[in-house]
């Protein structure tokens, strides 16, 4: 297939696909190059937006106020929106939520003892259990939130590279 931008004949794997079919007639390299150019062209606009954007604490407070007002004024809509989100997430990731629930139950009933330090960086903390396999809910490594984030970031990067 010939790219409309660089006019080079490239295999279909060099084009983004949707449902197994090429999506568009511009290769990945040309799309990435245009994205880099756009980021450089609009960097000042985005920096200005970030400078004027409320910080995370303000956004969280605003969201909390919205949820409280919605819960008071329209409890049916509140329930539909926020309980529905949680319900859909639990259904979509059923194996994950089951593993988390089984681990919580085991900790609560002292079948598993949570250590007081991270198994990666050995920092004193209340570590989180990380599952590498949700079919083995009691097999976890205990990591601090920072190491847990790093593990998930690495897993996301590996998944992207595999695509």
Mean pLDDT by runs of 10 across the 163 residues of the chain is: 90 83 84 93 89 82 92 91 89 95 96 95 95 95 96 91 78
The pLDDT of residue 51 is 82
Six token digits for residue 33: 């190059």
Residue 61 lies in a domain: no
Residue 155 lies in a domain: yes
3-state SS class at 155: helix
Residue 24 lies in a domain: yes
How many structural domains comprise the chain? 2
* Helix or strand run (H / E) with residue 140: strand 140-143
Six token digits for residue 137: 């809910």
The pLDDT of residue 22 is 73
CA 117 to chain CA mean position, Å: 25
CA gap 1, 87 in Å, rounded: 44
Six token digits for residue 28: 């990945």
The pLDDT of residue 48 is 87
Residue 57 lies in a domain: no
Residue 100 lies in a domain: no
Give the domain-ending residue among 52, 67, 82: 52
Residue 152 lies in a domain: yes
Residue 65 lies in a domain: no
Residue 154 lies in a domain: yes
Print the domain residue range for 140: 114-163
> Taking the model in full, what pTM does it have?
0.54
3-state SS class at 17: strand
The pLDDT of residue 80 is 87
The pLDDT of residue 56 is 78
The pLDDT of residue 160 is 85
């Amino acid at each position: 297939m010939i790219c409309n931008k660089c006019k080079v004949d490239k295999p279909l794997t060099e084009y983004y696909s949707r449902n197994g079919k090429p999506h568009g007639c511009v290769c990945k390299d040309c799309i990435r190059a245009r994205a880099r150019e756009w980021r450089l062209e609009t960097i000042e606009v985005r920096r200005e937006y970030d400078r004027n954007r409320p910080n995370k604490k303000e956004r969280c407070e605003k969201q909390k106020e919205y949820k409280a007002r919605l819960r008071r004024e329209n409890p049916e809509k509140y329930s539909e929106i926020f309980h529905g989100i949680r319900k859909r997430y639990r259904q979509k990731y059923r194996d994950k939520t089951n593993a988390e629930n089984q681990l919580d139950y085991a900790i609560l009933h002292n079948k598993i003892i949570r250590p007081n330090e991270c198994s990666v960086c050995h920092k004193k903390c209340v570590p989180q259990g990380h599952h590498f396999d949700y079919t083995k809910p009691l097999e976890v490594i205990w990591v601090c939130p920072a190491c847990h984030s790093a593990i998930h970031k690495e897993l996301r990067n590996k998944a992207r590279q595999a695509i």
